[in-house]
């Protein structure tokens, strides 16, 4: 109805282009104040136009009604086209909105130039073509804006959206009843169709906006609300104008004419943001409160129905109001079924949950047991390896998306007779019907292969692996509880031994009990200071001087005696306790370094840091603070990091290592040569030394190829300006050969095994030749 004619009492009443200002559409692009000036200009024009309407008095004023009025039309059009060009005509929402605003402005200009001296124009005219096309084009812009999100919404959310849309349509139809009836002229079919089209399009536009706002699954950003606000202001102005026209109260130059200009200006703010080069079509920001719009829509529908008992209402309004109330009642009918389904479904992945698995398993297992004797089933328990690192390093939102992708791959890789469920966290269960040990093992291999492929998460490449425990029915359990317990034991055996998958055997019972007992004892050890640190000297081969030590953790178990790392570190890693253990070792090692410093002994200490500890973004700052708190020079600490961390997440490794380097902490690559073949990280990352793994050193005396490999590796390290440390030096022959090849440092039983700090001090005192040198 904006700028349209409405047939009233047999003659054309107009809201002329002079009287209407244009509709500011989502305008402009803006990165910084310099690119926001078109928006400011649009609002300045709107303010000037509004002031002009308030002050120009009776009768039309060419300056206000024509020139300023048309400027409020075409200024937003310019902003829209700039946004369209900047988005490369690729944003459907921006393009449709731009066409809508352009046609609307062109129609208004045509109206102004074609009207007669009395301000009239035959109705309908070409201007109505442009005015009417604004509505379907803007509806298309709304659809383009939300279509990708609407596809992924649950039916209940879409139902809320429909309730909101139909409820708003009901109340609007009731308001527009007089307009619709006055627009009907049986003698002029075309005029009637055009006149009715305006309020109907307004109704559809408001219904679409209400439907979108009623969907709680859609996020509505602040910029998008400017588009919604502009459309609602525009439609409201149409409705007020139409009601005034019906009563013959509309006059050219009313302040109402500024409402269309304000609507356009608000929409210009949206397109200004949408047209930015880096903007995305996705909505962002705040969310519409759940059920708010549907509740208002239902209340409106009930209001129309109640009012209809007292005052005559359009039949369409009554029908829409009744449909609103009926749709709102649908969830009540299916509420019980929905609640039951929700209780059995995992919220994140949509898979059956633990409750559903336990509810369905008895029937499935009974079928298997009562069928042919050869028929078996298998329960598989899956746990993602090092999933905690993903959550800690990339955030829980990325971890959740990884679980969703993992569940999809698992479902796609399973045979049709398998039942997949998510038990919680990163743990899944699969019940395989008609599967013995061979069949379950084959499925496990397929699942591991499926999950070995890289996952793409928001531009990040994430790799994961899985440990699978398998328990067989009925041989290893007659109900799901028994099978779960045994599959859990098998899964932890697979994880501990890095087998990938493992079928339960009777030996796993004792292993499972031992593991649980050891885990509890380990937690006690961490809290009761049962961990001790031993130190192994690092000898400079050129001077035969001790220039540092490596700190190695031991567990002084109250009943089992001194336990070496290989007896408990895997369990520490699996149980997520590595973070705590690392800090304990760092604290003890730095405390010892401070003691040595007080006694005039400068002895840098190397501490092993696992990949799971390095995912903590605060670790570099914490380490630097621990060193500073003891008044130690940063060079008194060296961190030994394995190649798998350096290569699995190169960007993260770069960030961590450079932050440690800035703090003055030295970096050593432990077990060099046992991991990846790529050596590019040696050039790109801040590394001080390489530690050649003992698997290269031990066979060196008897294997010429091993000796040649050691020599070339030492040469490589020196060419890159790195020190080379040889681990596992256990004989004088190996020591002499390494010295001849130019190795910088040696560490091994030939010099000293790891010992407590007091024994190390005695060892140093007994061997003056190995005293620390100042040449570090």
Name 299's Cβ contacts closer than 8 Å, sequence gap at least 6.
none
What pLDDT sits at residue 508? Answer: 61
- Say if strands 466-473 and 501-503 run parallel, antiparallel, or are unpaired: parallel
Q: How far apart are CA 139 and CA 144, in angstroms?
A: 9
Question: Which among 219-223, 694-698, 734-738 has the top mean pLDDT?
Answer: 734-738
pLDDT band at 275 (very low <50, low <70, confident <90, very high): low
Q: Taking residues 191-201, report their average pLDDT.
A: 65
pLDDT at 42 over 60: yes
Domain borders along the chain are: 5-333, 344-505, 532-552+594-769
Alpha carbon distance 42, 447 (integer Å): 59
Residues 344-505: name the CATH superfamily. Answer: Reverse transcriptase/Diguanylate cyclase domain (3.30.70.270)
3-state secondary structure 713-750: HHHHHHHCCCEEEECCCCCHHHHHHHHHHCCCEECCCC
pLDDT for position 146 = 73
Residues 6+ apart with CB under 8 A from 303: 171, 321
Could you say which DSSP state residue 755 is in? B
Between 363 and 664, residue with greater pLDDT: 664
Q: Model confidence over 439-472: pLDDT tens digits?
A: 888 898 999 888 888 888 766 677 788 899 988 8
More reliable by pLDDT, 225 or 550:
550
CATH of domain 532-552+594-769: 3.20.20.450
Higher pLDDT, 569 or 677: 569
Sign of CA dihedral 75, 77, 79, 82: negative
176: left (phi over 0), alpha (psi -120 to 50) or beta: alpha
Instruction: Identify the pLDDT of residue 536.
Output: 95
**Mean pLDDT within 226-243:** 78
For 351-365, 386-400, 611-625, 651-665, which range has the lowest pLDDT when averaged over its residues?
386-400
With cut-offs at 50, 70 and 90, classify the pLDDT of residue 371: very low
Span 304-330, average pLDDT: 67
d(C-alpha 121, C-alpha 112), whole Å: 9
Residue 26 · residue 80 · CB < 8 Å? yes
Instruction: Enter the DSSP assignment of 358.
Output: H
- Mean pLDDT value across residues 359-376: 64
More confident call, 461 vs 251: 461
Higher pLDDT: 618 or 708? It is 708
**What is the radius of gyration, based on Cα positions, of the chain?**
38
Confidence check: pLDDT of 531 > 60: yes
Give the whole-angstrom CA distance, residue 261 versus residue 598. 78
Distance CA 537, CA 607 (A): 13
* Residue-level pLDDT at 22: 33
Task: Give backbone dihedrals phi and psi of 568, rounded to 5 degrees, phi first.
Answer: -145, -15
Tell me how far apart the alpha carbons of residues 710 and 747 are, in angstroms, rounded to a whole number.
15
CB atoms within 10 A of CB 591: 13
The model carries a pTM of: 0.45
Question: How many residues appear in the chain?
Answer: 776
Higher local confidence (pLDDT), 682 or 581? 581
pLDDT digits (tens, 9 = 90+) for 717-729: 898 899 999 998 9
Under a CB-based contact definition with an 8 Å cutoff, are residues 308 and 315 in contact?
Answer: no
User: Cis peptide before 544, with omega less than 30 degrees from 0?
Assistant: no
Q: Mean per-residue pLDDT for 270-298?
A: 56
What is the H or E stretch that residue 430 is in?
strand 427-433
Average pLDDT, the chain: 76
Question: Does pLDDT of 300 surpass 90?
Answer: no
Is it the case that residue 31 has pLDDT exceeding 50? Answer: no
- pLDDT attached to residue 219: 54
Residue 278, pLDDT > 60, answer no
Give residue 39's pLDDT band: very low, low, confident or very high (50, 70, 90): confident
Mean pLDDT of 164-190: 60
pLDDT of residue 282: 43
Average pLDDT rounded to a whole number, residues 575-603:
90
- In angstroms, the CA 577 to CA 566 distance is 15
């Amino acid at each position: 109805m904006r700028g349209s004619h409405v047939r009233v009492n047999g003659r054309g009443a107009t809201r002329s282009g002079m009287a209407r200002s244009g509709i500011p559409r989502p305008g402009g692009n803006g990165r910084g104040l310099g690119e926001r000036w078109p928006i400011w200009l649009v609002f300045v024009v709107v303010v000037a136009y509004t002031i002009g309407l308030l002050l120009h008095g009776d009768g039309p004023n060419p300056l206000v009604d024509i020139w300023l009025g048309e400027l409020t039309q075409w200024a937003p059009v310019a902003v829209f086209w700039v946004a369209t060009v900047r988005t490369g005509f690729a944003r459907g929402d921006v393009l449709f909105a731009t066409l809508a605003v352009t046609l609307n402005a062109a129609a208004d200009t045509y109206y102004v130039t074609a009207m007669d001296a009395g301000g009239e124009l035959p109705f309908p005219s070409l201007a109505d073509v442009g005015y009417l096309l604004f509505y379907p084009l803007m509806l298309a812009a709304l659809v383009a804006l939300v279509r990708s999100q609407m596809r992924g919404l649950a039916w209940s959310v879409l139902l809320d959206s429909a309730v909101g849309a139909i409820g708003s349509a009901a109340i609007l139809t009731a308001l527009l009843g007089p307009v619709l009836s006055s627009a009907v002229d049986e003698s002029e079919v075309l005029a009637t169709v055009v006149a009715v089209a305006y309020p109907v399009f307004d109704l559809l536009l408001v219904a679409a906006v209400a439907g979108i706002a009623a969907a709680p699954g859609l996020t509505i950003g602040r910029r998008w609300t400017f588009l919604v606000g502009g459309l609602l202001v525009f439609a409201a102005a149409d409705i007020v104008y139409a009601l005034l026209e019906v009563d013959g109260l509309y006059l050219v130059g009313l302040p109402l004419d500024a409402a269309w200009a304000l609507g356009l200006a608000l929409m210009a703010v949206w397109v200004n943001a949408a047209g930015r080069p880096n903007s995305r079509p996705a909505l962002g920001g705040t969310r519409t409160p759940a059920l708010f719009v549907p509740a208002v829509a239902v209340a409106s529908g009930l209001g129309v129905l109640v009012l209809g008992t007292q005052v005559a209402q359009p039949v369409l309004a009554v029908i829409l109001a009744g449909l609103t109330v009926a749709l709102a009642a649908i969830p009540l009918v299916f509420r019980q079924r929905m609640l039951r389904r929700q209780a059995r479904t995992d919220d994140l992945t949509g898979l059956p949950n633990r409750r559903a698995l336990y509810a369905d398993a008895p029937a499935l297992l009974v079928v298997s047991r009562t069928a042919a004797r050869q028929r078996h089933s298998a329960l598989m328990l899956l746990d993602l390896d090092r999933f905690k690192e993903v959550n800690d390093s990339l955030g829980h939102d990325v971890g959740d998306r990884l679980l969703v992708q993992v569940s999809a791959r698992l479902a796609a890789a399973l045979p049709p007779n398998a039942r997949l469920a998510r038990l919680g966290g990163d743990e899944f269960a699969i019940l395989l019907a008609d599967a013995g040990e061979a069949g379950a093992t084959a499925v496990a291999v397929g699942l591991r292969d499926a999950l070995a492929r890289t996952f793409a998460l928001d531009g990040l490449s994430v790799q994961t692996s899985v440990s699978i425990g398998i328990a067989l029915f009925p041989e290893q359990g007659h109900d799901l509880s028994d099978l779960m317990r045994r599959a859990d034991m098998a899964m932890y055996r697979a994880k501990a031994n890095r087998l990938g998958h493992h079928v339960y055997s009777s030996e796993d019972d004792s292993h499972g009990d031992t593991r649980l007992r050891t885990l509890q004892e380990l937690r006690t050890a961490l809290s009761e200071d049962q961990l001790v640190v031993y130190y192994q000297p690092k000898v400079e081969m050129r001077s035969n001087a001790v220039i540092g030590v490596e700190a190695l953790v031991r567990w002084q178990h109250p009943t089992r005696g001194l336990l070496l790392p290989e007896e408990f570190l895997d369990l520490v890693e699996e149980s997520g306790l590595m973070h705590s253990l690392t800090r304990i070792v760092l604290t003890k090692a730095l405390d010892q370094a401070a003691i040595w410093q007080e006694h005039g002994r400068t002895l840098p200490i190397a501490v092993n840091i696992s990949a799971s500890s390095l995912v903590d973004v605060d670790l570099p700052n914490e380490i630097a603070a621990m060193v500073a708190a003891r008044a130690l020079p940063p060079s008194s600490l060296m961190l030994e990091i394995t190649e798998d961390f350096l290569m699995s997440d190169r960007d993260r490794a770069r960030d961590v290592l450079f932050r440690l380097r800035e703090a003055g902490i030295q970096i050593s690559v432990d077990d060099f040569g046992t991991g990846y073949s790529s050596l590019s990280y040696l050039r790109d990352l801040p590394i001080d030394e390489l530690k050649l793994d003992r698997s290269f050193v031990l066979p060196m005396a008897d294997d010429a190829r091993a000796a040649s490999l050691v020599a070339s590796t030492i040469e490589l390290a020196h060419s890159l300006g790195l020190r080379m440390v040889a681990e596992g030096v256990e004989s004088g022959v190996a020591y002499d050969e390494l010295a001849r090849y130019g190795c910088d440092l040696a560490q091994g039983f030939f010099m000293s095994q790891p010992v407590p700090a007091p024994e190390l001090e005695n060892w140093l005192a007994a061997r003056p030749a190995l005293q620390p040198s100042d040449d570090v």
